[in-house]
Structure 1
Amino acid sequence: MVGEFVEAARERVRAARAALAAAMEDEDAYAAAVAQDELDDALRVARWHGVDVDDFEPGEG
């Protein structure tokens, strides 16, 4: 169960990072703001629960 939470938290961070990158590439300020908020929240939740999200690259498990 804990491993599932960790993977879900990391996946949420990965998805938010990808959405932010796509919005920046598209020069879509609104989508970038929404994606940044999602990324900030995903990172906050992950870190609050002790999930290390700084050591992995997108695509890693």
Structure 2
Amino acid sequence: MGGFTEALQERVRNAREALQAALEAGDAYEVSLAQGELEDALRLARKHGIDVGAEEG
């Protein structure tokens, strides 16, 4: 697995964790930021055919 793939998988993992934490905290601003980051990371993964696991939420 290449460095780009690993970095993108980590980015998706981090974004999912940030989104979950923001949802649990009830912080609408952080939810918005985390959703944007997750959507961007997932878009890049799809574009490059990288498996990042099931999309949650």
TM-score past 0.5 threshold: yes
Residue equivalent to 2:2: 3
Give the match's secondary structure for 2:4.
helix
Q: Give structure 1 regions of 4+ aligned residues with deviation exceeding 4 angstroms.
A: none
Residue equivalent to 2:30: 31
Residue identity (%): 59
C-alpha separation in 2, matches of 1:38 and 1:13: 8
Aligned pairs, how many? Answer: 54
State the TM-score, normalized to the length of structure 1.
Answer: 0.82
State the TM-score, normalized to the length of structure 2.
Answer: 0.88
Which amino acid in structure 1 is aligned with residue 50 of structure 2?
V
C-alpha separation in 2, matches of 1:41 and 1:54: 15
Residue equivalent to 1:47: 46
